[in-house]
Amino acid sequence: MQIIIYDNAQQVAQSAAQWVKELINKKPDPVLGLATGSTPISLYKELVAQYTAGQLSFKNVSTFNLDEYHQIDPANPQSYRSFMHQNLFKHVDIDTNNTSLPTCAVGENPRTQGLAYEQKIKQAGGIDLQILGIGGNGHIGFNEPTSSLSSRTRIKTLTQQTISDNSRLFKQGEVQPTMAMTMGIATIMDARYVVLMATGASKAQAVKEMITGGVSAMCPASALQMHENAIVLLDQAAASELGEKNYYQWANNENRKLIEDYGYFHNY
């Protein structure tokens, strides 16, 4: 794991945007894994700003989102399809035919939908770079604690903590879904690079467990300890429970020197 601690959330977003930009500029047919939630909104703002400034094009980009609520109408403003449209897709030159979410409409079988999503990712050549947030309970995507470390795209029942964490996003009277389709932990682990963004003190404990705890289904993000190319971007608050901050800082300075000498090493 490469752990990079920034002064603030804005710098975390800029750094994540830099990763996306490197991929898009390097690969003719980049495949990007996307996340929803509050954290990546600032990343999408950065990407839209760069697109608007003519520095970035999404014309050849394919995307796969981590998750989507079960049986939600894509037109529902609470769907993750709507979230992606509002925060990224409608602002850039992406072909929406190349954007996918793990949907499961009324009458569809979650099992076959999950398998089809896995197949679609494979046909696209696999995910080059997966953007992730982390839940206060250590989830990635909607892989809640107890999720098998070998899980693939499937339906999950959300925990009470996730339902209550996300309740802030629902207005009174709006139905909050309790089930979702999500990429599995093994699906995420297949991505060539993983960039996890975490900001704010409410993530500090989960971040500590992810980085310094044992690999365990009780902290799904800890599976990233086994990933060859996992990059964790933190602000000071999210890093506040870590004991090795000086080492991470030093290692990053050393890394930066290598990048200056040899350029980026990303092997997409």
Q: Smaller CB distance to ligand PGA: residue 17 or 93?
A: 17
133 scored as a contact of ligand PGA (CB under 6 A) = yes
139 is catalytic: yes
25 is catalytic: no
Residues in the chain, how many? 268
252 is catalytic: no
- If one counts every other C-beta atom within 10 angstroms of the C-beta of residue 197, the result is 26
**Closest by Cα among 219, 194, 196 to 206:** 219
Question: In 3-state terms, what secondary structure has residue 212?
Answer: helix
Site string for ligand PGA, 87-126 (x = CB under 6 A): ----------------------------------------
Tokens read off for 198: 């975490």
220 scored as a contact of ligand PGA (CB under 6 A) = no
159 scored as a contact of ligand PGA (CB under 6 A) = no
CB of 33 closer than 8 Å to CB of 130? yes
135 scored as a contact of ligand PGA (CB under 6 A) = yes
Which residues have C-beta within 8 Å of that of residue 34, sequence separation ≥ 6? 40, 63, 64, 65, 66, 84, 88, 131
223 scored as a contact of ligand PGA (CB under 6 A) = no
In order, the DSSP letters of 107-163 are: T--HHHHHHHHHHHHHHTT--SEEEE---TTS-BTTB-TT--TT--SEEEEPPHHHH
Q: Catalytic residue among 46, 70, 87, 139, which?
A: 139
# chain residues binding ligand PGA, by CB under 6 A: 6
Among positions 11, 14, 18, 38, the unique one binding ligand PGA when judged by CB under 6 A: 38
Least distance from ligand PGA to the Cβ atom of residue 268, Å: 24
39 scored as a contact of ligand PGA (CB under 6 A) = yes
CB of 36 closer than 8 Å to CB of 80? yes
In order, the DSSP letters of 161-201 are: HHHHHHGGGS-TTPPPP-EEEE--HHHHHTSSEEEEEE-SG
Q: Smaller CB distance to ligand PGA: residue 119 or 167?
A: 167
Among positions 134, 185, 224, 239, the unique one binding ligand PGA when judged by CB under 6 A: 134
7 is catalytic: no
Least distance from ligand PGA to the Cβ atom of residue 231, Å: 16
37 scored as a contact of ligand PGA (CB under 6 A) = yes
Q: Catalytic residue among 46, 118, 128, 144, which?
A: 144
Least distance from ligand PGA to the Cβ atom of residue 134, Å: 6
Which helix (H) or strand (E) segment is 146 a member of? none
Q: Smaller CB distance to ligand PGA: residue 94 or 196?
A: 196
Active site residue ranges = 67, 137, 139, 144
Which residues contribute to the site for ligand PGA (CB under 6 A)? Answer: 37-39, 133-135
